[in-house]
Structure 1
């Protein structure tokens, strides 16, 4: 999983993806990981979404592990629902809305 972390960090450095900023302290985050679970935070931009999918595909090829998109979901925060449907189709996963249950 450290390899996936490095791929996302490098993509962020190269401006291939852009995470989101939270709170008064302007904390910037593009992804978080716990064991074999990952949450990806992206600015609502199709290019960032496609680049994230490319990162996941490279990780699969390099590690031999598989991303289970059937267990994955796209969650909208402040975007129109039609965008979320299109993004979920791109990832071949389901769409969800807040609040969500993470890790059980």
Structure 2
């Protein structure tokens, strides 16, 4: 029963992020020519939030996470959280990570056993996945 309850609560976080984006308080990432925006992806107990890396988004996201803690009764472990970017100077990423009290990561990185941020057509990239299988 506990995993089901966690998923229900995690949906609440998704709702907070999506509603904030719908109100145009957050600016998400455009991922296609068809005007498809990605803001939030959740997989079990992992949540990936995709935003334009600017100070307004960082402050609003920190507030969303605090509201989530209050409403759900959960604690967000910021020491297990990481902030990363593509095409943004390291100084901005480091200062934003300090504001969130979390770590930083660089692309490429491993997520769920898959190397993210590299050319997926290269044969050697999938060796890590094959070893795990």
Indicate the TM-score class for this superposition, using the shorter chain for normalisation: over 0.9
* 1:56 paired residue number: 65
From the two aligned structures, give the one with the greater helix fraction: 2
Q: Which has the larger radius of gyration?
A: 2
Compute the RMSD of aligned alpha carbons: 1.2
Tell me the alpha carbon deviations over residues 55-84 of structure 1, each in whole angstroms, 9 at most, x when there is no partner: 000000011111111111111111011000
Number of aligned positions between the proteins: 104
Q: Deviations over 1:23-47 (max 9, x none)?
A: 3433211111111211111112100
Residue 65 of structure 1 aligns to a residue whose secondary structure is: coil
Provide the TM-score with structure 2 as the length reference. 0.74
- Runs of 4+ in structure 1 deviating by more than 2 angstroms, as ranges, are 23-27
**Structure 2 unaligned blocks of 5 or more:** 1-9, 114-133
Check if 1:90 corresponds to 2:107.
no
User: Aligned pair 1:35/2:10, yes or no?
Assistant: no
